[in-house]
C-alpha cells in the first residue's frame, strides 16, 4: 500500500505539530507545505525549536522553495489562496487545512476546484462535513478519502496532535 501523500496549508503551530506527530510513519508522506508568512528557513527553525515540545531531533533546514527534513525535500510555497497552491503537481492526496482561515464549505471550494486530493481535514468550523475525532486514521478513512471528500476534526486544537 502506497503512503498517503500529505500537503499542509498553514505551517503555524498546528501545521508544524501535525508534521512532527506523523513524521516517519510509513503510511504517511509529507510532500508540500504552503505558508504565507516566512520562508523555508524560518519554517525549519520553528519546526526544530518548539517552546512547549522542545527541540525536534530531526535535521530540518530551508532550501530554495523547499523544506528539507532528514534529506527529504518537501515543496514549499507562499500562496494566499489554497487554489493557487500546486497541490496536484506535488502529488498531494490529502491537504491538512491548518491555517484556520478556511472554515466553511464555500471558502474551501478552491481546494476542490483546483486540485484532486481526496480530502481536506479542517478546523471545526467546516459546515456540512463529516466529523472525525481527529485521529490520523481519519485521513485515509472511506469518509474522508473517497473521492474528493471533506472531513473535519472536532476541533483544531482540542483534538489536534498538540
Q: Any idea which residues carry the catalytic annotation?
A: 156
* 6: nearest Cα among 118, 126, 110: 118
Q: Contact 110/90 with Cβ under 8 angstroms? A: no
Q: Contact 53/28 with Cβ under 8 angstroms? A: no
* 10: nearest Cα among 75, 64, 79: 79
Q: Among positive and negative, which fits the CA dihedral 23, 27, 31, 34?
A: negative
Q: How many CB atoms lie within 10 A of CB 79?
A: 13
Amino acid at each position: 500500500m502506497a503512503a498517503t501523500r500529505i500537503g499542509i496549508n498553514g505551517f503555524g503551530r498546528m501545521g508544524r505539530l501535525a508534521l512532527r506527530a506523523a513524521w516517519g510513519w510509513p503510511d504517511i508522506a509529507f510532500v508540500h507545505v504552503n505558508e504565507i508568512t516566512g520562508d523555508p528557513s524560518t519554517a525549519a527553525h520553528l519546526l526544530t525549536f518548539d517552546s512547549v515540545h522542545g527541540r525536534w531531533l530531526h535535521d530540518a533546514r530551508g532550501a530554495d522553495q523547499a523544506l528539507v527534513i532528514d534529506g527529504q525535500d518537501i515543496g514549499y510555497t507562499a500562496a494566499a489562496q489554497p487554489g493557487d497552491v500546486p497541490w496536484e503537481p506535488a502529488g498531494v492526496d490529502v491537504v491538512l487545512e491548518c491555517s484556520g482561515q478556511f472554515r466553511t464549505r464555500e471558502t474551501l471550494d478552491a481546494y476542490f476546484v483546483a486540485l484532486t486530493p481526496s480530502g481536506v481535514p479542517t478546523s471545526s468550523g467546516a459546515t456540512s462535513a463529516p466529523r472525525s475525532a481527529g485521529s490520523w486514521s481519519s485521513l485515509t478513512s472511506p469518509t474522508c478519502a473517497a473521492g474528493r471528500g471533506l472531513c473535519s476534526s472536532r476541533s483544531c486544537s482540542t483534538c489536534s496532535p498538540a
